[in-house]
Chains A and B, each alone.
Chain A
Amino acid sequence: GQQLNQSPQSMFIQEGEDVSMNCTSSSIFNTWLWYKQDPGEGPVLLIALYKAGELTSNGRLTAQFGITRKDSFLNISASIPSDVGIYFCAGQLGGAGTALIFGKGTTLSVSS
């Protein structure tokens, strides 16, 4: 099946550092989304992107829909301990009724 390659697999950073992660595919996606999963909980939607080149922010988080429509990026500025968790990218290949495809996640650890 279709695959989203998410990297890095894990990150260990100091509080206050900026973080970058990305998601790539060999297929063209119509929609890119980023979710965060806190330990012991289900994922929660952070940002949704709908157009190539789109740049969207949610507080300290900024995500971009790649120009080629085959990739997306998520940046977190000035990380804090509550940023700890697993970040998933997700993409939609087709239109309504097409299920999301999820990446394998980036596990973020923040030390204070």
Chain B
Amino acid sequence: NAGVTQTPKFRVLKTGQSMTLLCAQDMNHEYMYWYRQDPGMGLRLIHYSVGEGTTAKGEVPDGYNVSRLKKQNFLLGLESAAPSQTSVYFCASGRTNEKLFFGSGTQLSVL
């Protein structure tokens, strides 16, 4: 069972570079989320989606964009990476917006 799959698992970027993180879920979930996890800060919501074609801003959306063109995929984009975006990124999905299933994370370093 794949569940929630995040790619890539690790990435190193230079300041100003762009990249896209892909999240794919095979559970037919409506709700999908992108969080970032930093030491001592817990999980902070970046963007989320309540269904195909919809997106909404979370707590820390600046510097990120998202798209949900297909129900099973939720993409997180960084147009111009900054060192402050060095973090571990988690995607999550759920049939409801409570019981979430998380991916195993993407560790991103911006130099």
Give the B-binding residues of A (Cβ under 8 A). 1, 6, 9, 31, 33, 35, 40-45, 48, 88, 92, 96-100, 102-105
Give the A-binding residues of B (Cβ under 8 A). 4, 33, 35, 40-45, 48, 50, 58-59, 90, 92, 96-105
Query: Which residue in chain B gives the minimum CB-CB distance to A33?
Result: B98
Give the chain A neighbours of B99 by CB distance below 8 A: 33, 45, 48
Give the chain B neighbours of A40 by CB distance below 8 A: 104-105
Give the chain A neighbours of B43 by CB distance below 8 A: 43, 88, 102
A41 contacts B104, CB within 8 Å? yes
A104 contacts B102, CB within 8 Å? no
A96 contacts B104, CB within 8 Å? no
Q: Which has the most chain A C-beta neighbours within 10 Å: B43, B48, B102? A: B43
B48 contacts A99, CB within 8 Å? yes
Give the chain B neighbours of A6 by CB distance below 8 A: 42
Complex Cα–Cα for A6 and B40 (A): 11
7 contacts across the A-B interface (CB closer than 8 A): A31-B98, A40-B104, A40-B105, A42-B103, A96-B96, A100-B98, A104-B40
A98 contacts B97, CB within 8 Å? yes
Q: Given the interface contacts A99-B48, A105-B42, does A45 sit within 8 Å of B100 by beta carbon?
A: yes
